[in-house]
Structure 1
Amino acid sequence: MTSSDTPPRGPVDSSRVPRYAGPATFARLPRLDETGGETDVAVVGVPFDTGVSYRPGARFGGNAIREASRLLRPYNPAQDASPFALAQVADAGDIAVNPFDIGEAVETVQEAASGILDSGARMMTLGGDHTVALPLLRAVARRHGPVALLHFDAHLDTWDTYFGAAYTHGTPFRRAVEEGLLDTSALSHVGIRGPLYGKRDLDDDAKMGFGIVTAADVLRRGVDEVADQLRQRIGDRPLYVSVDIDVLDPAHAPGTGTPEAGGLTSRELLEILRGLADCRVVSADLVEVAPAYDHAEITAVAASHTAYELTTLMTRQIAAARETPPDARRGAD
């Protein structure tokens, strides 16, 4: 965490350096070493996809999101905030994990995340596959206690095992419930759709405490009503947000490992996130971007804007806690 007396170092000025030039940090923000090793929000990559059950490639997702984020600008009109002026955001690089040993990879992510969170920073993690949500939740719960979870996904990810493996991209939230990492009175899936293995999948999920807002619910009820329902369920609890990019319809996110028809539009996802402004987001992840299947960078662009909205939520909350004016419009376009 940075001192509130130190002005944040913002993105590279695109009026002086073209967007396509220079290193592709998230939103062209400084690296963590360029802020003296201190930050309020650390953007961290986890290039790992050994836990996938279908198409691989999400290990390259973090850097694809960074490249697409070159087009992000410092003022967010939808939230009426300049997120990179409200608090320090820095790109902390990648957590290097063993691609051949899921157990070791999980431990490595947990240890690295704990170190970042212990500094007082929040995390915006770019995956990687959804396996990484479990060690991230372990680190967050170690700091905050059991947290509320808002999970955007086409799939439940509360299955027990795949091929006898307990740690995969389809099992993180069952493990998180079993380990007591989550506040089971405030768990929500959003965007669920598509075929399941059986009705028991839904029964087991409900027993763990999850509420479900399907993709069809978002269509029929609208984003404002959905966001209001989620805010009421979350309350003032510390909140972890986990976004699998396949929550979006393949028309909006073709570059992912397990696409399902009938998903959210990118506009719906962004508007629901903006509706969480009063929620206490302590960290977030964005996973399952697989650029090998992403023609014209459609998925990476949607993912970069999703990470931007989540980062804005966190910096606004940090600024409010410091009694910083909410509309600090500094930084170059």
Structure 2
Amino acid sequence: MEELRIEDKGRLGPVDSSRIPRFAGAATFARLPRLDQVAHADVAVVGVPFDSGVSYRPGARFGANHVREASRLLRPYNPALDLSPFAEAQVADAGDMAVNPFNIHEAIEAIQQNALDLTAGGSRLLTLGGDHTIALPLLRAAAERAGGPVALLHFDAHLDTWDTYFGAEYTHGTPFRRAVEEGILDTDALSHVGTRGPLYGKKDLEDDRRFGFGIVTSSDVYYQGVREIVAKLRDRIGERPLYISVDIDVLDPAHAPGTGTPEAGGITSRELLEIIRGLRGLNLAGADVVEVSPAYDHAELTGVAASHVAYDLVSLMSELPKPSVATAGQRTTAGAK
């Protein structure tokens, strides 16, 4: 079937939904072109179907395609930011990384290398998970591209700075502890947002504070409000290269039931989107949206929320400086989806 696409400012955009119904055609993110259909992508959206690091409910390996399906409803103009992101930047779907589901160490190495390949020509990367284990190799690649440690803004119900689980150092609950130990995070600019729920003990918070994290709980968002939280986050991040990692369980289960480790008392999808929009203009080096488990997602609430979070993150990336023409041709795909 012929793909009738919107073209704006010389950039190939999504399939024209006024001519081809939203429920028809290939399910790329926001119905955008594949990476092999464009000469270069300023922003690449890639899936990582990996969930071998989960400690409770599996299924996030199917998350990326679930978000892609939900993203069929996205449109090319973002009124909240008064921006047409697909006209400001060439955005493309890079398909899925092929990683070993039986060997976490090998999978981590493959994700890191794929991320480096995809960003070789200056592209920014928005990754759809997958469980939170994948954040570690993505942060390694982001720090390498940034030439040093990066700031981290981590949206999550959980800290994810635990040491081990059943003796395993690499799980979805350990990526940010490992990242601090490896020196790839700027410890003056680390923040959790949306944390809540019971912990194993007070030492969890003491360790987290020692690593340099500031904590904005879901209650803080409720009592202080989005504008105050955004102002504090922007002040902490400054002009540093920033990586944003969004575990969809940061949302209350009423907004995102389709996730592996839900916790009551979370923030709303409106609050999450408004905080992300408030970060406009920061030096966004990369981002991920993880832990979407479609088997638990009645009425696709989680997929819809995750697709809008990803859309706003892509929108923020679309305004940032583009790579030079000389480097733009140097890109490698993650493989056809």
Bin for the TM-score computed over the shorter chain: over 0.9
Deviation of the 1:298 alpha carbon: 0.2
Partner of 2:300: 297
Which of 165, 180, 183 in structure 2 is aligned with 1:162? Answer: 165
Residue of structure 1 in register with 2:313 after alignment: 310
2:15 match: secondary structure: coil
Residue ranges of structure 1 left out of the alignment (5+ in a row): 1-5, 323-333
Q: Distance in 2 between matches of 1:119 and 1:49?
A: 29
* Equivalent in 240, 243, 248 of residue 245 of structure 1: 248
User: In angstroms, what is the RMSD of aligned CA positions?
Assistant: 1.5
Match 1:53 to one of 55, 76, 97: 55
Post-superposition Cα deviations, 1:81-138, rounded to whole Å, max 9, x if no partner, equal 0000001000000001000000000000000001111221000000000000000000
| Aligned counterpart for 2:106 among listed residues 85, 104, 107 | 104
Query: 1:321 Cα deviation (Å)?
Result: 10
**Which residue does 1:201 correspond to in 2?**
204
Give the residue type in structure 1 aligned to 2:308.
H
Q: Specify whether residues 79 and 23 from structure 1 end up closer, same or farther in structure 2 by C-alpha distance, changes over 3 A only.
A: same
Asked whether the equivalents of residues 147 and 239 of structure 1 are also in contact (C-alpha less than 8 Å), the reply is yes
CA distance in 2, matches of 1:43, 1:206: 32
Are the counterparts in 1 of residues 249 and 263 from structure 2 also a CA contact under 8 Å? yes
Is the contact made by 2:42 and 2:323 (CA closer than 8 Å) also made in structure 1? Answer: no
- In 1, the alpha carbon distance for the partners of 2:118 and 2:20 equals 30
Length-normalised TM-score, structure 1? 0.93
Given the alignment, which residue of 117, 120, 123 partners 1:118? 120
Alignment partners' CA distance in 2, 1:117 and 1:205: 30
SS at match of 2:119: helix
| Number of the residue aligned with 2:83 | 81
Alpha-carbon displacement from aligned partner over 1:246-302 (angstroms, at most 9, x marks no partner)? 000000000000000000000000000000012111110000000000001000000
> SS state of the match for residue 105, structure 1?
helix
What's the CA shift for 1:225? 0.6
- Residue 35 (str. 1) matches residue 52 (str. 2): no
Match of residue 65 from structure 1: 67
The number of equivalent residue pairs is 317
Give how far 1:7 is off: 1.8
Mark the CA change 1:320 to 1:111 in structure 2 (over 3 Å): closer, same or farther.
closer
% identical equivalent positions: 72
Structure 1: 4+ residue segments shifted above 4 A = 319-322
Deviations 1:136-162 (A, max 9, x none): 000011110100000000000000000
> For 1:139-288, what aligned pairs fall within 5 Å after superposition?
139-144=141-146, 145-288=148-291
Post-superposition CA distance 1:50-103 (Å, at most 9, x none): 000000000000000000000000000101100000010000000010000000
Where does 1:131-142 land on structure 2 (aligned, <5 Å)?
Answer: 131-142=133-144
In structure 2, runs of 5+ residues without a counterpart are: 1-8, 326-337
